[in-house]
Amino acid sequence: MIVDLTGEVVPCCFWSGYGNVGKPLGNTNLASIDEIWNSSEYQALRQVNASGNLEGHPCNQCMAYAWSNGNYPPFSSPIPWRHESGHCYLVEIPENFTKLAGESLNAAELLEDGVPLPFPKTLHDDIRKLGEGRYSVWDHSLYFSTSDNSDPSDNGRSYELNVPHGRIKLQGLVVDSVSGQNILKAWEEYREGVEVMTAKPTMISLISTADCNIDCPGCSQNMVRLTRVQHRAETVPDILAHVPYLYQFIWHGGEPYLIKRFRQFIDDFRTEDNPNLAFGFTSNGTMLTAKELDKLQRFPRINASISMDSFNKAMFEKVRKGADYDTVLSNALRAIATYDAPHRVFSIGMIVCKSNFRELAENLEFAIEHDMGLNLSPVVIYPVTEQLNVFENYQLQAQGWQEALDYARNIIQRAVAEKRPSVRRVDATGMLAELQAILDRAQQRYRQCTALDIIVADPHHSLSQMIRPGIVLYHAQGNEVLAYCELASGAGSYAIRVPYGYSPQTVYWTLVHNLIEVTGRVAEGWFEPIDQSLIAAKFEDKPVKPVRLPIPKFIAVDRPRNTTFANYGETTPNGLRVKAAEDITAAYNSSTAEERLNGRGLAVRTYRQYMYLVAVRAISRIRHILSESR
């Protein structure tokens, strides 16, 4: 269960993004966690997944499936082993133990309650068919069966691996705990198809704030920061009350270390609070000091990601504005040095965008050299200036990308063959395949384009007041972005390249004062056909007149640093509690109306326009008051 900052609840991060179309399953601004967990929407989701028939279902479009080399993630729990097949169970051997064991790992002895199991180095097929204590250590994994073919998850026995240099306990589920009982109950009810579950959720991921201490220009949370989106006061306490029942709790920001309750949660947590818990978070790394890293030892398991986006200092500090590369890298390397899967897992998150695509291979080489598991995330949603599926000039912008991708693939193949720790931790093969698919689709889409003329006049010198002005083309059906053009040279003639296959009656243009803030529209319109008989013709038939665009009067808007908006994860009276999809847009329109009434943004030109903006502001405030009273 993922709880977004808007209160919307989805089952995973791929549910409604990356081209997927899953609808929210509830909203914590309207209902509690338990109410959503047993809602009709969640019941339907469990039934579909249990049936295995995902045809037409959002899970059938899962990008994680592609990234994971064609494997759906299995039902997971804090138990280190999973049922492989027959009598066989499979467990990943902790990395530090494999280093300790060295060449003696393959001869490791498996103990059940201190007694050696009788059949080491057994064929995997015999383990599956016969069991009875047969086992095999194979490529950093243990394939094993119990002495009586019982399930090691609940037979109450302990299992240890022994080598001449040491011994390690394969920690099973702590059944005698609130979370242990809840996990077993949830798995039992899921398998039995129980509609209204008595078990509580076993995994919750919370995005509790957009507060951040750095100012990444392409951050997808910039708009929600501007509109002060927050949870209602009851949500975070409700989620924290569920922590004793969970096997995994992931807490995101913004930057989570800015959140008061996040820091307090870490300070207060004791292992006995939940001996099965895996605690995770994504941090920009600026505040993950040695002291904070040491506090994480209290958790049974840690699975955290540090966002870097580049191992090139200049590129890093461009993409992650306000962060110091040397500080973040030092903090990241310190965290990576504590890696000991499955107990201590730290990885690096890296977006792949227009700015850093050409350095893809270099970033992978750096990660491999420093034993970093590197998770690559393609930018395909926002902002247009960095998306890998929208272009101003495909041939120019994507130049060298295919070569970079080919080189990156060779690097990963070599690292896999050499069994480097980095690719054992995160194998980027599937991610690179997905990048190739994105690139192939873009190449096909922009293979043939028509250049549309736009003649820009700037009588009020407004362009100099804008941060990054540009024109964006949208397909009216679904508001899909087709192309964009940055007005980097001031007034003059521009050509915007639209892919073949679209007609003027389905495409409109918008002028925005900042291509990073695509909702900041200054003007918009449709293309005018040369002749009405050509209205249905395709752009490649040259059926439209040039767009003549006089830029209206515009005064620079104030976009202060992110810390200006910070409420450190707390609910404040002026916050926006989202209850419907249009709430954020309405709040944004209200904030721009406020700006215009204060002499910023587009100039107010008529009395009628002035009264309209006053009405927008008043309606927004009334809606907020009514929302708070519900």
Please state the φ and ψ torsions of residue 625, each to the nearest 5 degrees: -65, -45
Confirm if 551 and 522 have CB atoms less than 8 A apart: yes
* DSSP for 568-613, written as a single string: TT---TT-B---STHHHHHHHHHHHHHHHHTT-EEPP-SHHHHHHH
Digit-coded pLDDT (tens) for 9-23: 998 877 776 556 678
* DSSP for 502-569, written as a single string: --GGGEEEEEESBTT-TT-EEEEEEPPBSSGGGTTS-GGG--BPPEEEEPPPEEPPP---GGGG--TT
More confident residue, 72 or 213: 213
pLDDT for the residue 598: 86
Whether 434 has a pLDDT exceeding 60, the answer reads yes
Digit-coded pLDDT (tens) for 210-252: 889 999 888 878 778 888 889 999 999 999 999 999 999 999 9
Confirm if 144 and 127 have CB atoms less than 8 A apart: yes
pLDDT for the residue 563: 82
Average pLDDT over residues 87-100: 85
Average pLDDT over residues 450-459: 94
Confirm if 37 and 47 have CB atoms less than 8 A apart: no
CATH of region 448-550, choose from 3.30.429, 2.60.40, 3.40.50, 3.30.160: 2.60.40
Rounded-to-integer distance, Cα 400 and Cα 395, Å? 10
Whether 341 has a pLDDT exceeding 50, the answer reads yes
Which has the minimum average pLDDT: 348-362, 485-499, 518-532? 518-532
Average pLDDT over residues 152-173: 83
Digit-coded pLDDT (tens) for 385-417: 999 999 999 999 999 999 999 999 999 999 999
Q: State the average pLDDT for the chain.
A: 88
Confidence of residue 76 (pLDDT cuts 50, 70, 90): very low
Confidence of residue 75 (pLDDT cuts 50, 70, 90): very low
pTM for the structure as a whole = 0.85
Q: What is the domain partition of the chain in residue ranges?
A: 82-169, 448-550, 580-629
Average pLDDT over residues 93-121: 88
